[in-house]
Amino acid sequence: MPTATPIPGKTLLSPGNHTLIMIDHQSQMAFATKSIDPVSLRNNAALVAKAAAGFKVSTILTTVAEKTFSGPIFSEIKDAFPGAEIVDRTTMNTWEDERIAPLVNAHGKSKIVLAGLWTSVCIVGPALSALDQGFEVYVIADACGDVSDEAHERAMDRMVQAGARPMTSLQYLLELQRDWARGDTYDMTTGIAKVHGGGYGLGIIYAKTMFGASEGH
């Protein structure tokens, strides 16, 4: 008979137990993305980037053929990490770029969280590669996109079948906060949610404006 204890599960994400890799959130890649509209995609990518930056998550930013074909990384991501190195690759599979492994190893995290374009190529590649090398892999599905719903969904299926764990951008933010009594990150978390959390963010604005509500009390 198991015994319940107030300890979080080992598969939950916390700010210090994973490395986030944001891959190919670039103009040319977004033009052909049809599984999610570009407004939602940029909003979700911004939510993830701001959450990771605010919680000081180990983060790797990477692009493909930035200057010759695909264009710059979304400004929402670049602004969240001012001055951060952005690794520009030729490989479609981020994991095969020789500069990425040393960065992953330097961060020393066993959990890898992925988000980017396109799901069936640039996310499947590193996801399956990292799983094969013993990492736990999470994919932020709504901060990814592909050329069709079918392409995105089959890519998600393939990764989940191999052991990856799917999640959403808002889930990522709230899993990092986890407890509303954590006052040092409370305003940051609700601030990100107000801007990028859709209806949930509107609810926060309403509750705080109308009657000064706070989740932590």
In this model, does residue 70 exceed pLDDT 60? yes
Q: What does the pLDDT read at residue 139?
A: 99
Task: For the chain, give every domain's residue range.
Answer: 18-175, 180-211
More confident residue, 216 or 185: 185
Q: What does the pLDDT read at residue 217?
A: 54
Convert the pLDDT of each residue in 76-89 to its tens digit.
999 999 999 999 99
Identify the burial level of 78 via C-beta atoms within 10 angstroms of its C-beta, where 0-12 means exposed, 13-18 middle and 19 or more buried.
middle
Q: Which residue bears the tokens 């933010």?
A: 173
Convert the pLDDT of each residue in 19-65 to its tens digit.
999 999 999 999 999 999 999 999 999 999 999 999 999 999 999 99
Q: Which residue bears the tokens 């999470």?
A: 138
User: Rounded distance, CA 213 to CA 200, Å?
Assistant: 14
Nearest alpha-carbon partner for 189 in 19, 64, 53: 53
User: Rounded distance, CA 190 to CA 17, Å?
Assistant: 22
Beta bridge partners of 60: 21
Convert the pLDDT of each residue in 191-208 to its tens digit.
999 999 999 989 888 888
- Mean of pLDDT over the chain: 96
Q: What does the pLDDT read at residue 210?
A: 84
CATH architecture for residues 18-175: 3-Layer(aba) Sandwich (3.40)
* Residues identified as active-site: 122
pTM: 0.95
Identify the band that residue 114 occupies on the pLDDT scale cut at 50, 70 and 90: very high
Residues of the chain by 3-state class (helix, strand, coil), percent to 5: 50, 15, 30
Identify the burial level of 73 via C-beta atoms within 10 angstroms of its C-beta, where 0-12 means exposed, 13-18 middle and 19 or more buried.
buried
In this model, does residue 216 exceed pLDDT 70? no
